[in-house]
Amino acid sequence: MNEQSNPSAAERVEKLQGMGSCRKRVEDARFTQGKGNYVDDIKLPGMLFGDFVRSSYGHARIKSINKEAALAVPGVVAILTADDLKPFDLHYMPTLAGDVQAVLADEKVLFQGQEIAFVVAEDRYAAADAVELVEVEYEELPVLVDAFKAMDEDAPLLREDIKDKMDGAHGPRKHHNHIFFWEEGDKEGTNKALENSDVVVEELIYYPRVHPNPLETCGCVASMDKINGKLTIWGTFQAPHAVRTVVALITPLEEHNIRIISPDIGGGFGNKVGVYPGYICAAAASIVIGVPIKWVEDKIENLTSTAFARDYHMTGKIGATKDGIITALDCHVLADHGAFDACADPTKFPAGFFSICTGSYDIPIAHCGVDGVYTNKAPGGVAYRCSFRVTEAAYMIERMIDVLARKLEMDPAELRMKNFIKKEQFPYTSALGWEYDSGDYHTAMNKALDAVDYKALRTEQLENRAAFERGNSRSLMGVGVAFFTEIVGAGPVKNCDILGLGMFDSCEIRIHPTGSATARLGTISQGQGHATTFAQILATEIGLPAENITVEEGDTDTAPYGLGTYGSRSTPVAGAAAAMAGRKIRAKAQMIAAYLLEVHDDDVEWDIDRFQVKGNPEKFKTMQELCFAAYNQAIPGLEPGLEAVSYYDPPNMTYPFGAYICVVDIDVDTGVVDVRRFYALDDCGTRINPMVIEGQIHGGLTEALAIAMGQEIAYDDLGNVKGGSLMDFFLPTAVETPEWETDHTTTPSPHHPIGAKGVGESPNVGGVPAFSNAVNDAFAHLGLTHTQMPHDHWRVWKTAQRLGITG
Ligand code: CDP
């Protein structure tokens, strides 16, 4: 009989704060008290500062660079140009997409803001002063900013460095500005099915170039310890281990002598996946000079040079019977990748997971093709709160479904319901080859429609239109319905790698004798609350309170190898690794418990936080007792200690989904769109922390609002960036942000150890089409089929003007 008092099962569950509990975020204690430790907080003795001279032109030849005046600025130590990097073969770097990118412009510049020279100085002010004094003489070249003109016969040659290399990383190139053509599905069959369809609609849908724009910009501190031969880089890295391997591959340093540390990160959203010239220049300068070098970009540099997202011109074609059964989908994308192909996608997927574009619908046959082209714009193509182009795919199909509904004069929600993949069809293989793990779309959609009283909304809309017609109202009501299926959790390794690095993830748990634990993972939180939620998974799996489990990420010297955090992969992959490592701990604890309870291993069973003798729950050993025994009691046949590591290669991705409904009122005389209501139902399988999920949804919806309603990194014909500062790039504040109503259903993933799917990106994926559908819906009765994003006041007003309804 155990001497300890025995709290009730409910009390024990409560104490663990495991999965399903709304545990408060542990990280917030330091973030809200100014105790976060970000890259720019790193200050090392003797540290120097780097800053870039950047191109003023979109396309120009560099005739000369004069550093003389800049070098005379007190405190300036060195100014690097491409010529200085050439001896080390560092003037070009590999991109994540199999291309190369100039670290410092070599003889010509290809986009405004491109890095030309790296000034190193004793403080950042001297560096900034010197940047101003570096004289670059340019010879302007014809600029290409229109992706549709990239493959014209007379289009200017952008990439002289690869002009004769017609075999690209993803197959043959058709033109000097062509990067790749990638396709999936049955083109011929799809064409036939479209020809035989009662109804076919076609639309060019543009997803504008936007930017993740995290609060903290990109930066690093590189510190070469020449005596010990060790290079340490603190950086804003979403994948620190991958960075370590890449550094080992492009420098003479051995991987064990490279330490990459991602400290606290102030938002990533895909912006911090890529490799940027600042990292290479800081590391190169530190290796040469032998002192730590810090480089931190400012907001304008962030917006104009490190990463962009989307920029997809998508022509969708969808066929259906006259009753609204979809027969086929075809889509062609013209993808504007900017001056270098630096897209962050798994190697085999140059257009990411765009082929998820059949969405949530049981479409019998489909085809999609993507042409990537170079233009005089910044490189990037990152997955901005997105799993490798799923956001573009979801936007295309959700707009197309609305366009089709209009053509069929059918309610858009009804058309969706008619074509949804049915619950009993899961696991479902889509026409483009993805195996959706689980889903119950009809239940989710019905719940959403009921929650907002959809029928009443449509009745109100009819009344509103009648009142508008009569001249009794100057605003139009729009109801946007969107239903999305996400694809998150890359790997599996057999399909997904980045630069040859397999996309598994990992968790290592070290249990301490007194019943606490340290868990380390290959991922890295950028605000998602991993320290809170991964401890919850472990609390449930190993029966120790979450508050006794410290989660560490982001230091390659201590964390097990993993591929990092982006594409909502942390929960599907590292979360699974955590559960599996926890189960290894529990398996050993079971043997210890059986020995201590003097029964066979099979005669003990797990109960919340303990092993008890089967049929005799009074006889038990708590996990805390077992932790102590693991270290301090000689157990025949067992090594002392209690540790485990799991490297998890997921068998499939997970497919979260959701039903979003947005109601807007548009003032046709000003173009102001008032979001009256936004309802978001998400299904991310097993929910680890409902409160954290809600926070993720709120943040993602706010980003979706920003994208749909105002964000765009546009270029003028000369290649000048028009949306390059926060004066021009829409960043919603509390004033513009509506109330979010959140809801959920729970359809666990059958292959994930705890049934969880990712969630962080869902609101961005589903939110953008919901907003856009709402704006388009407001004008639908006037014959409008599709109007492009962003739906800012000016463009919405222009739409109203085109329709002849402005005052
Ligand atoms: O990879 P990333 O962390 O951006 O995305 P995620 O896996 O979707 O997780 C975002 C946050 O939501 C993490 O703190 C997760 O633990 C939490 N989450 C959850 O509580 N339950 C889920 N089913 C999925 C995510």
Find where tokens 């340290």 sit: 518
Report the candidate in 757, 517, 560, 537 with the shortest Cα–Cα distance to residue 648.
Answer: 560
Average pLDDT over residues 55-83: 98
Among residues 238, 461, 624, 696, which one is catalytic?
238
796 lines ligand 1 (CB under 6 A): no
- CB 685 less than 6 A from any atom of ligand 1: yes
If you count them, how many residues does the chain have? 807
Ligand 1: does its nearest atom lie under 6 Å from the Cβ of 537?
Answer: no
Give residue-wise pLDDT tens across range 666-693: 999 999 999 999 999 999 999 999 999 9
- The percentage of the chain sitting over the pLDDT mark of 90, rounded to a whole number, equals 97
Range from 72-76, 442-446, 455-459, 727-731 carrying the lowest mean pLDDT: 727-731
CB neighbours of 34 closer than 8 A, spacing ≥ 6? none
Residue 357 falls in the annotated catalytic set: no
Ligand 1 pocket, residue 533 CB under 6 Å: yes
Whether 371 has a pLDDT exceeding 90, the answer reads yes
Q: How confident is the model at residue 4 (pLDDT cuts 50, 70, 90)?
A: low
| C-alpha 347, offset from chain centre | 16
Is 530 a pocket residue for ligand 1 (Cβ < 6 Å)?
A: yes
Ligand 1 atom having least distance to the Cα of 690: 20
4 is catalytic: no
pLDDT in tens, 743-802: 999 999 999 999 999 999 999 999 999 999 999 999 999 999 999 999 999 999 999 999
Task: Tell me the per-residue pLDDT of 280-306, one tens digit each, with 9 for 90 and over.
Answer: 999 999 999 999 999 999 999 999 999
For ligand 1, the distance from its centroid to the CA atom of residue 573, given in whole angstroms, is 11
Residue 3: per-residue pLDDT? 47
Please indicate whether residue 692, judged by its CB atom, sits closer than 6 Å to ligand 1: yes
In the residue annotation, 124 being an active-site residue is answered as no
Consecutive H or E run containing 461: helix 454-470
Residue 54: CB within 6 Å of ligand 1? no
Instruction: Name 643's bridge partners.
Output: 510
Chain segment 565-617, per-residue pLDDT in tens: 998 999 999 999 999 999 999 999 999 999 999 999 999 999 999 999 999 99
Residue in 487, 541, 693 to alter for ligand 1 test, most ligand atoms within 8 A of Cβ: 693
Indicate whether residue 568 lines ligand 1 (CB < 6 A).
Answer: yes
Question: Ligand 1: which atom is nearest the Cα of residue 756?
Answer: 23
- Among this protein's residues, is 281 annotated catalytic? no
Catalytic residue among 386, 496, 627, 662: 386
Which pTM value belongs to this model?
A: 0.97
DSSP string, 84-102: HHGGGT-SEEE-TTS-EEE
Per-position DSSP letters for 201-263, written without gaps between them: EEEEEEEEEE----SS--EEEEEEETTTTEEEEEE--S-HHHHHHHHHHHSS--GGGEEEE--
Decide: 629 in ligand 1 pocket, CB within 6 A: no
Q: What is the DSSP string of 144-173?
A: ---GGGTTSTTPPP--GGGTT--EETTEE-
Residues β-bridged to residue 666 = 476, 673
Among candidate residues 676, 681, 683, 673, the one with its CA nearest the CA of residue 706: 673
Task: Tell me, in angstroms, the distance from the centre of ligand 1 to residue 789's CA.
Answer: 28
Question: What is the 753 CA–ligand 1 centroid distance (Å)?
Answer: 15
Catalytic residue (one of 54, 173, 310, 385): 385
- Residue minimizing CA distance to atom 12 of ligand 1: 693
**CA nearest ligand 1 atom 5, residue:** 568
Exposure string for 781-795, b = 16+ CB within 10 A, e = fewer? eeebebbbbbbbeeb
Ligand 1 atom index nearest CA of 570: 1
Q: Give the pLDDT of residue 807.
A: 76
What CA–CA distance (Å, rounded) separates 351 from 354?
6
Measured in Å, residue 756 CA sits from the centre of ligand 1 at 9
529 lines ligand 1 (CB under 6 A): yes
Residue owning the nearest CA to atom 16 of ligand 1: 533
Q: pLDDT averaged over the chain?
A: 96
> According to the model, what pLDDT value does residue 5 have?
62
DSSP code per residue over 133-146: H-EEEEEE------
Over residues 74-129, the pLDDT tens digits come to 999 999 999 999 998 899 999 999 999 999 999 999 999 999 999 999 999 999 99
Lowest mean pLDDT among 374-378, 618-622, 736-740, 803-807: 803-807
What ligand 1 atom has the least distance to the C-alpha of 565? 1
Region of poorest pLDDT, from 682-686, 693-697, 719-723: 719-723
Specify the pLDDT at position 290.
93
758 Cβ closer than 6 Å to some ligand 1 atom: yes
**Over 80: is that where the pLDDT of 662 sits?**
yes
Which ligand 1 atom is the nearest neighbour of the CA of 656?
23
